[in-house]
Amino acid sequence: MSHGPRSGLAAVSSALLAMSRHLEVRDVLKTIVASARELLDAQYAALGVPDDHGGFAQFVVDGVSDEQWKAIGPLPRRHGILAAMLDDAAPQRLADVRRDPRFGGWPSAHPDLVDFLGLPVRDGDEVLGALFLANKNCPKPDGACGFTEDDEELLGILAQHAAIALTNARLYERSRELTIAEERSRLAHELHDAVSQKLFSLRLTAQAAARLVDRDPARAKGELQQVAELAAEAADELRAAVVELRPAALDEDGLAATLRTQVQVLDRAHSARVTFTGHGVRALPAAQEEAVLRVAQEALHNALRHSGGSHVDVTLERRGNGAVLRVGDDGDGFDPHTVRRAGRHLGLVSMRDRASGVGGRLTVESAPGKGTTIEMEVPGG
Ligand SMILES: Nc1ncnc2c1ncn2[C@@H]1O[C@H](COP(=O)(O)OP(=O)(O)OP(=O)(O)O)[C@@H](O)[C@H]1O
Ligand SMILES: [Mg+2]
């Protein structure tokens, strides 16, 4: 390097600072490659991150114009000297790459590389990529220069930083994927518990209206008003699920009033009698109210869809600081142990998840011929 030791250190330091200012992995890699080229005074620099198919997932170059880059054509495959750095994690310092026995030629538009310095970018035993330079600028044209041991050491430092940047980027990607998976499952539960329930009621009400339309147009009209109401509610639930809002009714009316209204709607929409009783329940923490509402919705849905009963009763009562929700029907009942946990049946699993998610407990009491009672206890604030 032409710089003295202090200015050399300052240059390295400013390169490292520049790297840490970027969040996007590609920007970090670009900064590393540009800094390497500048600090080591080379004509070309590149960094390649391999993929699983013998090619490169990322390939960043510096010292090559966009037109030149396009003219070169597709990314290199991993063979020859690139493979030696990536697969054997071996540093390569060569006076003339073209004379190396592993050299396999390059596309016609590729710049002519002579002296070459390349290092694996590694995290422990794992090779994440390769950082390499070519054509060190010589003070005198045609003077013998090439990369030195000091250059190799400096490039080693940059390679270590590249490793950190790549590792961080991977961690970031993974955490984002996790968040997406969680978000998916939240949305699936939300759609299942709230939206599909409304659509089920809507379908039944529409069928009832169709049956009545010739015989009793006035009642058919009433049913159709129900259809409109249920459709509006389904749309609200859908919107809430998508933007992750808590159902607006909970904020406006509180849990008991929200349950009462929903029960009234279901009572009108279905042939079974659906009732609600509330006993002195105080407001609960938002997450708990939401969980109770969702469990009530699914339990009601199941009772109306599966039980064949003529009564469904919902009660909400205070217990300590918390509350107990009960949804009971006088229908056929079922054996909870024989319901397969996986697959198409999401309801019971979702109710359990919601209860435990807010520190509560869910019990299912049911036996064939004996009706079903779902009980959920939440601890309160
Ligand atoms: N109140 C009930 N009365 C009778 N059987 C019920 C009742 N609740 C649930 N079941 C039975 O338990 C099974 C599982 O219920 P669950 O809610 O997990 O799934 P599902 O309602 O079939 O489908 P999903 O809720 O995913 O739309 C139901 O298919 C039904 O056979
Ligand atoms: Mg269900």
Of the listed ligands, the closest to the CA of 304 is 1
| Interval between CA 304 and ligand 1 midpoint (Å) | 10
Q: Which amino acid is at 245?
A: L
Least confident of 152-161, 219-228, 303-312, 344-353: 344-353
Ligand 1 pocket residue status of 43, Cβ below 6 Å = no
Give the β-pairing of 311-319 and 273-279.
parallel
Supply the mean pLDDT for the chain.
87
- pLDDT tens string 79-94: 889 988 898 888 999 9
- pLDDT band for position 342 (50/70/90)? low
Q: What is the CATH number of the domain that holds 114?
A: 3.30.450.40
Q: What is the pLDDT of residues 134-148, one digit of tens each?
A: 999 977 666 567 899
Which of 307, 334, 354, when mutated, tests ligand 1's pocket best, judged by the most ligand atoms within 8 Å of its CB?
Answer: 334
Angle subtended by helix axes 149-190 and 25-39, to nearest 10 = 170
Mean pLDDT value of segment 310-330:
96
Same domain, 130 and 270: no
The mean pLDDT of 292-312, rounded to a whole number, is 95
Q: Which residues contact 226 (CB under 8 A, 6 or more apart)?
A: 205, 209, 265, 268, 269
Q: What is the pLDDT of residues 94-129, one digit of tens each?
A: 999 999 999 988 899 999 999 999 999 998 889 999
Last residue of a domain, one of 149, 173, 197: 173
Residue 284 lies in a domain: yes
Residues 14 and 111 placed together within one structural domain of the fold: yes
Q: Specify the number of domains making up the chain.
A: 2
**Looking at the structure, do residues 26 and 157 belong to the same domain, yes or no?**
yes
Ligand 1 proximity of 347 Cβ (cutoff 6 Å): yes
Nearest CA to ligand 1 atom 29: 345
Residues around ligand 2, an ion, CB closer than 5 A:
302, 347
Average pLDDT over residues 213-237: 90
- The predicted-structure confidence for 26-46, as pLDDT tens digits, reads as follows 888 888 899 899 999 999 999
Asked if residue 231 belongs to a domain, the reply is no
Q: Based on the domain organization, do 44 and 167 belong to the same domain?
A: yes
348 lines ligand 1 (CB under 6 A): yes
The DSSP output letter for 337 is G
Last residue of a domain, one of 173, 189, 221: 173
| Å from CA of 342 to ligand 1 middle | 12
- Amino acid making up residue 210: A
- The string of DSSP codes covering 60-101 is EEES--HHHHHHH-SPPPS-HHHHHHHHS---EEES-GGGST
Beta carbon of 197 within 6 Å of any ligand 1 atom: no
What's the pLDDT tens digit per position in 231-265? 988 888 887 777 666 777 788 889 999 999 889 88
Residue 185 lies in a domain: no
Residue 329 Cβ inside 6 Å of ligand 1? The answer reads yes
- CA–CA separation, 209 and 204 (whole Å): 9
pTM of the model: 0.57
**Which residues form the domain of 169?**
3-173
Q: Give the C-alpha separation, 373 to 354, whole Å.
A: 17
Ligand 1 contact, 345 CB (< 6 A): yes
What six digits make up the tokens of 373? 């009672």
pLDDT average, residue stretch 176-184: 75
Whether 227 maps to a domain, the answer reads no
**Domain closes at, from 116, 143, 173:** 173
Instruction: Examine residue 153 and state whether it is found in any structural domain, yes or no.
Output: yes
Query: Around Cβ 3, how many Cβ atoms within 10 Å?
Result: 13
Question: Does residue 114 fall inside a structural domain?
Answer: yes
Structure letter (DSSP) for residue 307: I
| Ligand 1 lined by 16 (C-beta under 6 Å) | no
Judge whether 129 and 166 are in contact, CB under 8 Å: yes
Distance in angstroms (rounded) separating the CA atoms of residues 275 and 27: 61
368 lies in a domain?
Answer: yes
- Whether residue 3 has pLDDT greater than 60: no
Task: Examine the pLDDT at 205 and tell me if it is beyond 60.
Answer: yes
Atom of ligand 1 nearest to the CA of 372: 1
Q: Does the pLDDT of residue 341 top 80, yes or no?
A: no
Read off the CATH number of the domain in which 378 is found. Answer: 3.30.565.10
Same domain, 10 and 153: yes
Distance CA(375)–CA(362), nearest Å, equals 6
Q: Are residues 33 and 124 in the same domain?
A: yes
Residue 183 located in a structural domain: no
Which pLDDT band, with edges at 50, 70 and 90, does 131 fall under? Answer: very high
* Cα 263 to middle of ligand 1, angstroms: 19
Is 80 exceeded by the pLDDT of residue 276?
yes
Ligand 1, pocket-test mutation among 306, 373, 376, most atoms within 8 A of CB: 306
Pocket test for ligand 1, best of 201, 302, 366 (most atoms within 8 A of CB): 302
Is 132 in contact with 85 (CB distance < 8 Å)? yes
Q: Is 276 in the pocket of ligand 1 (CB under 6 A)?
A: no
- Contact criterion met (CB below 8 Å) for 314 and 326: yes
Does one domain contain both 261 and 375?
A: yes
Structure tokens at 190: 């939300």
Give the rounded percent of residues in the chain with a pLDDT score beyond 70.
94
Looking at residue 129, its amino acid is G
Q: Which residues contact 113 (CB under 8 A, 6 or more apart)?
A: 44, 97, 98, 106, 134, 135
Structure tokens at 76: 């290199």
Please name the residue whose Cα sits nearest to atom 9 of ligand 1.
302
Based on the domain organization, do 143 and 272 belong to the same domain? no
Q: Whose CA is nearest to atom 17 of ligand 1?
A: 347
> Can you tell me the mean pLDDT for 302-317?
96
| Residue owning the nearest CA to atom 14 of ligand 1 | 345
